[in-house]
Amino acid sequence: MNPSQHDSREPPARPWGRLGQLLRWALIVGLLVWLGHGALIDLLAGHSQRRSLTGEALSPAASALLEQCLEDLPAGPLIDLHAHLAGRGPESGCWVNPRLLSPLHLVDWARMRSYLSAAGLDQDSPDTAWIENLAGLARARPRPALHYLLAFDYRYTPQGERDLAHSEFHVPNAYAFAAAQAHGDVFRCAISVHPYRPDALQELDRWAARGVRLVKWLPAAQGMDPASPRCDDFYRALVARDMVLLVHCGQELALGTREDQELGNPLRLRRPLEAGVQILVAHCASSGTALDLDVAGQNPPRVDCFELFLRLMGEEAFEGQLWGEISTVTQVNRYSTALATLLERQDLHSRLVNGSDWPLPALNVLYQTRALEGAGFIGADERRLLNEIYHHNPLSFDLALKRLVRSPGTGKRFAPEIFTRLGPLSQR
């Protein structure tokens, strides 16, 4: 059964016999000992001293490289349209599915620990520490920057009921807005509103009235189908309020979503595009495959999501509406699919914007500079200095890496304008 058809009740617990319970606990205890109380997770997450926050300076060579990455950028702040918040509440209103906090669910628990570590936190840190750490890193960058903090709505059923059992986490719109207000020099707010909510249009009205224009969706995790007619009123409301939709397309890997991946099919965006919605495609749909819905018949082939994204970008009707957002395209699990093509397709660069997908730039295991060097995207000296910048400030590393990567075939790089561009958010 499709998870979006479930009700909001917790699923029944899996029956374990006495022997099964003992074996499970033995495995968990053994792994916890082996993990060294989170030391290995901190290593994989790249948990560092964040030397920029302690005042420790980069080496002259690394400083010069970072300055080189900044010198030809247009005037204005650096723009990051994709920075996540998270928290456990209850005071903040944030919520995390209990399985992500329990060693009984080892994979989910380790995943949550790695995200906390990447954000510079531990399991006892208050929710506000995520905001303060990110604000500190943003202010320590060598040039002013604006990061859009993403709220994240619950999953809802098609009947409009909140589905806690299959929700991963929740960040209230009010929480993201308050964080942006408190740190207005480095943050802006992006809300998240599920279109199946009974009060979806009222929630859009509430935040549009306060000047918020960016709305975040992650269909595979939140359970909304962008191609569903039940979203039509929502799309009309977005257009009327001049709001922009940031949609994750392609396979979802950061959350524990195992089903509903097809909801991230870029071709499912035709419906909101035809309704006139301005859309940012997160990650340029650079992972996974999806059904080619443009092929008639009952058994359409599966195609790389990135290829489907490029198809939409190539349609003249969507030139003024559809944009690509390049967060994570330099990750080890994505660069072989999309990075060289995006670097070479300079005809698309005027429609690309930047995002970090924080805290993923601080997950050491995802950013393998050795692999990028081996594939010809960066040089050996650049790799060494990028690694130093990573330990100094992962946000600066994310920018520097994207500025330095070049197509192994043509030597082309990302256009400087991408990194200071607001895209459809600047169009009024």
Dihedral sign, Cα of residue 372, residue 378, residue 384, residue 388:
negative
pLDDT of residue 120: 83
Question: Which residues are bridge partners to 358 per DSSP?
Answer: 83
pLDDT of residue 50: 67
Q: With pLDDT > 90 as the criterion, what percentage of the chain qualifies?
A: 72
Cα angle, residue 138 at apex, residues 137 and 142 outer, rounded to 5°? 95
φ/ψ of residue 292, rounded to 5: -80, 90
> With 90 as the cut, is the pLDDT of residue 254 above it?
no
What is the pTM for the complete model shown? 0.88
Tell me if 242 sits within 8 A of 268, measured CB to CB: no
Average pLDDT of the segment spanning 108-135: 85
Compute how many other C-beta atoms are within 10 angstroms of the C-beta atom of residue 96. 18
> With 90 as the cut, is the pLDDT of residue 270 above it?
yes
If pLDDT is split at 50, 70 and 90, which confidence band does 32 have? very low
Tell me if 402 sits within 8 A of 354, measured CB to CB: yes
Average pLDDT of the segment spanning 185-194: 98
Tell me if 190 sits within 8 A of 173, measured CB to CB: no
The closest of 241, 245, 257, 250 to 216, measured between CA atoms, is: 245
